[in-house]
Amino acid sequence: MFFIDKNGNSALRVSEQDYILGIADFTGELMRYCINMVGRHRNEEVNHSKALLQQISAVFGELDFTFLKRKTEELKRSLAKVEKVCYMVKVQQAEFPDINLNIDISNVKFEDDFPKNG
């Protein structure tokens, strides 16, 4: 895969594997961005980011590349974190609809934050 500069010359060559792995790495950054936007009550950005993570996860779930298995599992965990935080916010908003909550998500614990047995 080649990226072309503004003059139409090939500027950068990236293998398909590296390109796909780059997208996988991007999803971790997108998860962090999304969680940050939850804390800032930026619902439009949260919904858009979550939808993009879901779309990428669906596509990666259909791919059968050995090099992508670990990244796909990381993506699933990232998506689960985003969905959990969004759910927690909705529950808190339902419990206290008249209060503008300043939601602190810094101490939220996820399954992969706990030590593994064995």
pLDDT digits (tens, 9 = 90+) for 21-41: 999 999 999 999 999 998 888
If you average pLDDT over every residue of the chain, what do you get? 84
Q: In 65-116, which ranges are continuous DSSP H helix?
A: 69-95
Q: Mean of the pLDDT values across residues 109-114?
A: 56
Looking at per-residue pLDDT, the higher value among 53 and 97 belongs to 53
pLDDT at res. 81: 93
pLDDT at res. 107: 55
Q: Which residues contact 30 (CB under 8 A, 6 or more apart)?
A: 49, 52, 53, 78
**Hey, what amino acid is at 109?**
K
pLDDT at res. 105: 55
